[in-house]
A and B are shown apart, each in its own frame.
Chain A
Amino acid sequence: MSGEGVLVYAEYIEGMLHPVTYELIGKGRELISKLGGSVKAVIIGSGASGRAEELIHYGADEVYVYECSEGVALNTLLHKELLVSLIHEIKPKLVLYGATPWGRSLAPRVAAALRTGLTADCLDVYVTDDGSIVQVRPAFTGNIIAHIKTVTTPVMTTVRYKVFKPPKKAPSRNGKVIIREVPADGDIHHKEIEVLGKVREKEVNIADADVIVAGGKGLKRREDLKLLEELAELLGGVLAVSRPLVDAGWASKDRQVGFSGNVVKPRVYIACGISGSPQHLAGMKDSKVIIAVNIDPSASIAKYSDLFVVGDLYEVVPKLIEEIKRVRGKP
């Protein structure tokens, strides 16, 4: 199957469209200038038809909508089947998914069903002069960067959130919305897999944060996290932690930055009492600005920091809070 254009899988969970979707559409538009074809998007779920125009405003030319009942809206097997048949029908050259937990669970099933290649957690996708697609991804906790070509079609890629710029919304943009029926036998998957309900929301979604203040082993007591939280709040940000603090039960995994926690890319990352293990660095080293406060000048996080303040966080952070308040207080 030769194929044309780009298909973007719009991640839509319980009324929420994941913002990585807009970034993927934006990237798709950029890629079709060399690849040819159009940017198509597919959205599946209960209430999905209400979001189709929005995807067009962000740059999709055609949106395929599969409206389905709430009971099967989060059924991975149903999503897989709909995607497999749509891909057979429209034959895209490239299919993009967000490298989110949902995307990284669904995309491999689709890839195996189509017997095509899938490249995980990409930081870039580009088209060479001869028109082939290359995917760029990290491996070995971010130590190795690999450029990968797919020899089967379509090329399928999961892309990390916040690596591509979201395009500007253009409410005047026109496109085509194609409403599809979810086949009645969609219900057969109900037995194989069933989402029974929500256990709980995440305490905080640190991947979305613009400013992160993170604490590590340099903290002496659990209560001291409050100090960092005060700084975070002052900057309109959120508190995060390194793995040892989660292991010690001081904070929930929702706040963990690192290879086995969350990969974050905020505008400013302030690491307090974090030495910088390879696993932690893999989760934050692409932050725009990195500030470290550490008593040990040889801490490995130094190499990854724009500014490294050598000092005791118990002295530096309170002074910093005071100073920010003072600067802010100025007329």
Chain B
Amino acid sequence: MKPAPDVEKVRFDVRRGVVDRSSAELEINPFDLHALEAAVRIKESVGGIVTVISMAPSHAEPALRDALARGADRAILLSDRRFAGSDTLATSYTLASAIKKLGEFDLIICGEKSVDGDTGQVGPEVAEFLGIPHVSYVTEIKEVSNGFVTVASDFGVAYYLVRAELPALLSVTKEVNVPRKPKFKDLMKARKAEIEVWSADDLKDVLDLNRLGLEGSATRVVKAYYALEKGREGIKVKGDEGIRKIIDLLSSSGVI
């Protein structure tokens, strides 16, 4: 799970081309809510334990509490200044290392992408670091049994039925389910629950400290700016003049 700012509320520093981090609190990336719901449903039908892992600054703790209230059994926050500046490669490496430290697992589920980074790369990269198969853009989880998971996945022009051997990683779309709202009593319980915080030192047996954060990243942002709207004319018209203008524009575009 990735704690991310709410894109409806977040404001941008237009001059510097960055996000104003104080404008919105971190919440669970909306795509990841569907991943969590999928995990909880699998637990409800076949049993098991749902562990949530996030790599984020320490103020992301409330997002992890929210995950506990929504049915996760355990929450681990990977938080350390040495993780800062990680690109998808360093993030995936760190997450995969933490998963190795956790020990055996059957299934990793993540959202198809995050609202802020929008890369969708961390899931498949984690799978590669762990040497397990993955299926991206999963729209339906059909079956989890006998050491396999069977899903429907969006390949672009069509949806395909794919079977992966466990352990496997799935990245799910919003179509996969409708996440439940947490119950009040579970929210209360989650307020008191423990969030385990792991630092880079906690992972030093399973990873190479030189492959973390900015130093371990393969990409660098050299320039960023706020995307101002293209100079659209935005002509406002009403009534029959509107119809005339549409016709003019359609014909100048070669559509009619």
| Residues on A facing B (Cβ under 8 Å) | 11, 13-14, 16, 18, 74, 76-77, 80, 100-102, 104-109, 111-113, 115-121, 134, 138-152, 189, 191-202, 205, 210-211, 235-237, 253, 259-260, 267-268, 270, 277-279, 285, 288-291, 293, 297, 302-311, 316, 319-320, 323-324, 327-328
| CB of B73 closer than 8 Å to a CB of A | no
Show 15 A/B contacts (Cβ-Cβ < 8 Å), sorted by A.
A13-B155, A13-B157, A101-B156, A105-B134, A105-B136, A105-B137, A115-B218, A118-B88, A119-B219, A145-B227, A253-B175, A270-B246, A306-B235, A308-B236, A320-B246
| Residues on B facing A (Cβ under 8 Å) | 7-8, 10, 12, 17-19, 30-31, 87-89, 92-93, 115-125, 127-129, 132-137, 139, 150, 152, 154-165, 168, 171, 173-175, 217-227, 229-230, 232-240, 242-243, 245-247, 249-251, 253-256
What is the CA–CA distance of A104 and B117 in the complex, to the nearest angstrom? Answer: 14
What is the CA–CA distance of A196 and B159 in the complex, to the nearest angstrom? Answer: 11
CB-defined contacts of B242 to chain A, threshold 8 Å? 293, 309-311, 316
For the complex formed, measure the closest distance between the CB of A315 and the CB atoms of chain B, giving whole angstroms: 9
Given A260-B174, A268-B253, A194 contacting B162 (CB threshold 8 A): yes
Those 4 A-B pairs whose CB atoms lie nearest each other, nearest first: A117-B218, A309-B242, A105-B136, A112-B128
Asked if residues A307 and B237 are in contact (CB atoms below 8 Å), the reply is: yes
What is the CA–CA distance of A111 and B129 in the complex, to the nearest angstrom? Answer: 10
CB-defined contacts of A120 to chain B, threshold 8 Å? 88, 118-121
CB-defined contacts of A253 to chain B, threshold 8 Å? 139, 175
Helix, strand, loop or mixed for chain B's interface?
Answer: mixed
Given A118-B88, A143-B12, A311-B238, A108 contacting B128 (CB threshold 8 A): yes
For the complex formed, measure the closest distance between the CB of B33 and the CB atoms of chain A, giving whole angstroms: 12
Asked if residues A148 and B222 are in contact (CB atoms below 8 Å), the reply is: yes
Residue of B174, B217, B250 near A117 (CB, 8 A) is B217
CB-defined contacts of A149 to chain B, threshold 8 Å? 219-220, 222
CB-defined contacts of B238 to chain A, threshold 8 Å? 309-311
Asked if residues B223 and A196 are in contact (CB atoms below 8 Å), the reply is: no
Residue of A148, A152, A195, A267 near B160 (CB, 8 A) is A195
B8: nearest chain-A partner, CB-CB: A278
CB-defined contacts of A305 to chain B, threshold 8 Å? 232, 234
For the complex formed, measure the closest distance between the CB of B105 and the CB atoms of chain A, giving whole angstroms: 16
B123: nearest chain-A partner, CB-CB: A108
For the complex formed, measure the closest distance between the CB of B118 and the CB atoms of chain A, giving whole angstroms: 6
Asked if residues A152 and B155 are in contact (CB atoms below 8 Å), the reply is: no
Residue of B123, B125, B163, B251 near A194 (CB, 8 A) is B163
Asked if residues A141 and B155 are in contact (CB atoms below 8 Å), the reply is: no
CB-defined contacts of B137 to chain A, threshold 8 Å? 101, 105
Asked if residues B159 and A290 are in contact (CB atoms below 8 Å), the reply is: no
Given A111-B125, A140-B116, A197 contacting B155 (CB threshold 8 A): no
For the complex formed, measure the closest distance between the CB of A100 and the CB atoms of chain B, giving whole angstroms: 5
What is the CA–CA distance of A310 and B250 in the complex, to the nearest angstrom? Answer: 17
Asked if residues B7 and A279 are in contact (CB atoms below 8 Å), the reply is: yes
Asked if residues B254 and A267 are in contact (CB atoms below 8 Å), the reply is: yes
Residue of A119, A145, A259, A324 near B250 (CB, 8 A) is A324
Determine which residue in B233, B236, B240 has the highest number of CB atoms from chain A within 10 A of its CB, and name it: B236
CB-defined contacts of A270 to chain B, threshold 8 Å? 246
For the complex formed, measure the closest distance between the CB of B212 and the CB atoms of chain A, giving whole angstroms: 13
What is the CA–CA distance of A281 and B169 in the complex, to the nearest angstrom? Answer: 31
Residue of A134, A143, A268 near B226 (CB, 8 A) is A143
Residue of B7, B134, B158, B221 near A198 (CB, 8 A) is B158
Residue of B18, B157, B233 near A205 (CB, 8 A) is B157
CB-defined contacts of B233 to chain A, threshold 8 Å? 306-307
A319: nearest chain-B partner, CB-CB: B243
CB-defined contacts of B218 to chain A, threshold 8 Å? 111, 115-118, 150-152
15 further contact pairs, Cβ within 8 A, besides A105-B134, A140-B116: A14-B158, A101-B137, A111-B89, A112-B92, A118-B121, A149-B222, A151-B217, A196-B160, A201-B157, A202-B158, A202-B159, A253-B139, A285-B230, A303-B229, A310-B237
